[in-house]
Structure 1
Amino acid sequence: MERIKIGIIGAGRIGKLHAENLKRLPQVEIKTISDIFADNIRDWAAQTGIANVTANYQDIMQDPEISAVFICSPTDTHIAIIEEAAKAGKHIFCEKPISFALDKTVQALELVEKSGVKFQTGFNRRFDHNMSRIQELVREGKIGDTHILKITSRDPAPPHKEYIPASGGMFIDMTIHDFDIARFMVGSDVEEVFVQGAVLVDPVFAECGDIDTAIISLKFKNGALGVIDNSRQAHFYDQRVEVFGSKGCLTIQNDYPSSAELYTADGVYRDKPLYFFLERYNEAYVKEVKAFIDAIVHDTPVPVSANDGYQAELIAHAARLSLQEKRPVKVEEVLTRGHIRV
């Protein structure tokens, strides 16, 4: 069996995670990984079985043996790399968000479509065993017509201060996963967004023009309603979902290291939920890269499309506008505002 040769661009936390997961797939060879701090990752790359390490991602683009790239570099580099990969005829897996600017995202994705390469957006939560099961049951009509979606998504601790100004803000950095899951669960695009936001965790967010706490109301095109509540600091990773419909209700609770519970005279105790996204969504990350490789091998559509990435960004920009102007915002209104950027 001829192995698919992969190039990974960016060897931070997520790039290394994808590399470790791709190693588990027998039909894949990671030929090259690039990072601007190449010297810092040579030992790790050797241990991981990656032969080539470079500080210049152009080495990946110019290698005719590499047929697919994983873009795991900072968001502000994505567009240029996507466009170069598409022109080079390489399939693309891109971490979220595709970019900070909707017009640039559209421009890049139009080029991708013309080139005919596959493009998968890195929304790993769709592959979580809980999330995917709820979506299946909704599609099967087990709860009838969807009426209300509730998503609770709270991080255990805020990002470090240096990261916040470059993050794009809560909606494009954190809530974008919830926007994608909302569309995934309900099976409909979002029509309108209304945000109430605050800085309740750390004043550094206000200094950076951002928020750390939000309640977001969604109206879907199919008539369903949604609510997302976000916090940058819950002291544990809180990931819960409820989908209520005309015939019943589906819920997802947090995942735990074990289901063991201790009962004593002082109270009832159990483990805290799995800590943060690398633990909580570990297997989901494995499944998403396998799905991308399978789409290449069998020449089938990717399960999370370029449009899925674009739609989540569109909602994020509408949320930002709603926060700024303190009113509900139609998602299509964002498109009339010109070159929307964060």
Structure 2
Amino acid sequence: MTLNIALFGAGRIGKVHAASIASDPRAKLVAVTDVMAEAATALADAHGIAVRSADDILSDPAIDAVLIASSTDTHADLIERAIAAGKAVFCEKPIDLNLDRARRVQASVAAAGRPAMMGFNRRFDPNFAAVKTAFDAGEIGKGELLAVTSYDPAPPPVSYVKVSGGLFRDMMIHDFDMCAWLFGMPEAVFATGSSLIDPEIGAAGDVDTAVVILTYADGRIATIRNSRRAVFGYDQRLELLGSEGLLSVGNQLESTVVKSTAGGVTGAKPQLFFLERYMKAYQTEWAAFLDAVLDGTPPPATVQDGVNALALAEAANISLREGRPVRLADLPGA
């Protein structure tokens, strides 16, 4: 069976997902919609598909599933409308910028019983997935300390920062998901951050440099380091210390060539950005969604996972604002 897929959003991430859809013979991209008509037309022309309105897509029974890669403020409504229309849903993070709204979406999805999956692509990176497999198999004993590093090569425009929901909801949400995926949900969150890179980011009420500590009821600790600027490239590393060993993932480099001379030893920089670093992960992620729809396997990144990551981001924002650890049990609505 081949699923007919409609794409919401024709921007940078929409183009990535369009390529992933095209790479799997079990899916056929048939329509795209975007508020930016020019972007929608360009993507449609590139893939030989139609530009259609959101209402038209959602009311068409021939469309089996939708991939939501539009602006964040559209995600919650589109998930609910698509699920109500009987379609399977894949949605980019986050569900919404408001935790209560995200929880309502999760309840709607649970009641409908249709497959729905969140776009936490780092779970599908082959190296991070190998860490998860080895850790779950007990190869390093009991986990004790988890460290996640995520530095972007350069900050986004301030115009984007103002509508993004801030570093914790926009950037670190991937790292929150990684910690929850590997260690489960913590008991408390402590965050600190500052604006060191671009004063306009600080003026917009956000930070561009942050560290978060997640503490667990059994004493385990996870730390996350984020920066909007790493001049050498896209820095994505992970280290998991267990009672019987260590699992770690280093950066993907532009080249594996290392030159060693009397003058020193030199090698390549990390790959420039997420498109290069995670392209394989996006394809594997999409294949997992198709498995869930066609074979009935559980989605490996659920809407509940999206709620969990957003709850950690909410706790981090409160912690940063109030300068104290925040227990997840104390969040409104918990």
Give TM class, smaller chain.
Answer: over 0.9
Q: Which residue of 1 aligns with 2:171?
A: 174
Counterparts of 1:197 and 1:219 in 2: how far apart (Å)?
18
Deviations, residues 251-276 of structure 1 (Å, cap 9, x unaligned): 11101122110123332211111111
Q: Which amino acid aligns with 1:330?
A: R
Aligned-pair distance for 1:48? Answer: 1.6
* Matched residue SS, 1:335: coil
Q: Which residue of 1 aligns with 2:11?
A: 12
Counterparts of 2:283 and 2:259 in 1: how far apart (Å)?
32
Q: Which residue of 1 aligns with 2:223?
A: 227
Counterparts of 2:191 and 2:284 in 1: how far apart (Å)?
32
Contact 1:189 1:221 in 2 (8 A): no
- Equivalent positions of 1:264-283 (< 5 A) are 264-283=261-280
Q: Which amino acid aligns with 1:292?
A: F
Q: Which amino acid aligns with 1:91?
A: A
Deviations, residues 133-164 of structure 1 (Å, cap 9, x unaligned): 00111101111110000111111000012101
Counterparts of 1:155 and 1:279 in 2: how far apart (Å)?
13
Deviations, residues 75-97 of structure 1 (Å, cap 9, x unaligned): 11111111111110111101000
* Matched residue SS, 1:327: coil
Q: Which residue of 2 aligns with 1:237?
A: 234
**Uncovered stretches (5+) of structure 1, i.e. residues with no partner:** 338-342
Q: Which residue of 2 aligns with 1:340?
A: none
The answer to whether structure 1 residue 67 and structure 2 residue 29 are counterparts is: no
* Matched residue SS, 1:250: strand
Q: Which residue of 2 aligns with 1:91?
A: 88
Counterparts of 1:44 and 1:124 in 2: how far apart (Å)?
22
Counterparts of 2:194 and 2:15 in 1: how far apart (Å)?
34
Which of 190, 193, 196 is matched with 1:197 structurally?
193
CA 1:265–1:122 in structure 2 vs 1: closer, same or farther (change >3 Å)? same
Aligned-pair distance for 1:336? Answer: 4.8
- Equivalent positions of 1:1-342 (< 5 A) are 2-50=1-49, 52-54=50-52, 56-186=53-183, 188-235=184-231, 236-336=233-333
Aligned-pair distance for 1:229? Answer: 0.9
* Matched residue SS, 1:281: helix
Counterparts of 1:43 and 1:213 in 2: how far apart (Å)?
36
Q: Which amino acid aligns with 1:212?
A: D
CA 1:130–1:39 in structure 2 vs 1: closer, same or farther (change >3 Å)? same
State the superposition RMSD in angstroms: 1.3
Contact 1:322 1:329 in 2 (8 A): yes
CA 1:121–1:137 in structure 2 vs 1: closer, same or farther (change >3 Å)? same
CA 1:192–1:27 in structure 2 vs 1: closer, same or farther (change >3 Å)? same
* Matched residue SS, 2:159: coil
**Uncovered stretches (5+) of structure 2, i.e. residues with no partner:** none
Counterparts of 1:60 and 1:264 in 2: how far apart (Å)?
60
Q: After the TM superposition, which parts of structure 1 deviate over 6 Å for at least 4 consecutive aligned residues? A: none
Identical counterparts, % of pairs: 42
Contact 1:217 1:228 in 2 (8 A): yes
Contact 1:92 1:118 in 2 (8 A): yes
Q: After alignment, is 104-113 or 257-266 more displaced?
A: 257-266
